[in-house]
Amino acid sequence: MMNGFFNSLSSPLILGHRGAPTHFQENTLAGFRMAKELGAHGVELDVYMTRDEKIVVFHDEDTERLTGEKNLITQMTWDEVSRLNIQKSVDRGDGTSAKYLREHKITLLEEVIWELPDDFLINIEMKAYAPDWSRRHTGTHIAEIIKKTGSQDRVIVTSFDFFMLDYLEKACPEIHSGFAYDGSMLGGLGEWLNRFSHLTEMQSNHSERTASDNFLNMLLKHNLVGQFVQSSVVDAEYKLLDSDTVTAFHDRNMLVGAYTLFPEDKRYSGTGESQHELEALRLVEAGVDWIECDDIARLLEII
């Protein structure tokens, strides 16, 4: 059976970013089910591997923002993690708080896959802030879970860590996976590029892009990392994508995803909601295959 992400549609698939954060806490079963109810085609979720090699659905390595208890989820056992609750009041990341009706438990990836409908798509992001060889077997264990649940036809796996992706592909080559690109991933080099661009009045290909964004777009378009990890998809921050880049990937028979529109975390909202409405239309015109968003209803209304 063909993977559901590869079914041809006239408009992009809509994925709830971490579920449906406008209704339930991020990365919770309740949020994933609500995303389905709102009309999303699937969800994007985040995973880490615990100290005893269990794959848990959670966004931050530090548990404090979401649970109120300071610890590193990668240094905890699943038994310890399972005792934590995601709080009713959650910092969105920008210092503002989202309020919810009740606390929710952290779940295992395997449980989420079993619980969600067979026609509901999942982008599993293996969380990483930088490539880390010591965490490569996160990919191995996720491949085992996907094979165990028979979910190869409804999941893709993405990450900023090419070691995890490489080991995922080694364990199960039929899984569709790909590298992810973010505008902040260059760190200090990106700041230097932007400063150099300003000093030399170097022009950007797109007026809304910085020099570092253009550099990342070049890396993205040439798919150098993707070739190394045998990618069949790519996931990128929306501002790094344009129609030429999408076409280049489609010519390789690869899919392109964009994130994150209408973000709850306003650090990533750019110039506001009206700008994201325009970005949604631009991404549709560019031909992206899926869009991840925090406000599912709003994006569906536009598309």
Q: Rounded distance, CA 175 to CA 235, Å?
A: 15
Find tokens 């979910």 and name the residue: 151
Contact 88, 102 (CB under 8 A): yes
Q: How confident is the model at residue 133 (pLDDT cuts 50, 70, 90)?
A: very high
- What pLDDT, in 10s, does the model give residues 249-291? 999 999 999 999 999 998 876 657 789 999 999 999 999 999 9
Whole-structure pTM value: 0.94
Strands 13-17 and 42-49: parallel
What are the start-end ranges of the H helices in 77-205? 78-82, 109-115, 137-149, 162-171, 188-200
Pair of tokens at residue 83:
């005792």
Q: Rounded distance, CA 108 to CA 105, Å?
A: 10
Structure confidence at residue 91 (pLDDT) = 94
**DSSP at 63:** -
Q: Coil, strand or helix: which one is 264? A: coil
- What pLDDT, in 10s, does the model give residues 95-116? 999 999 999 999 999 999 999 9
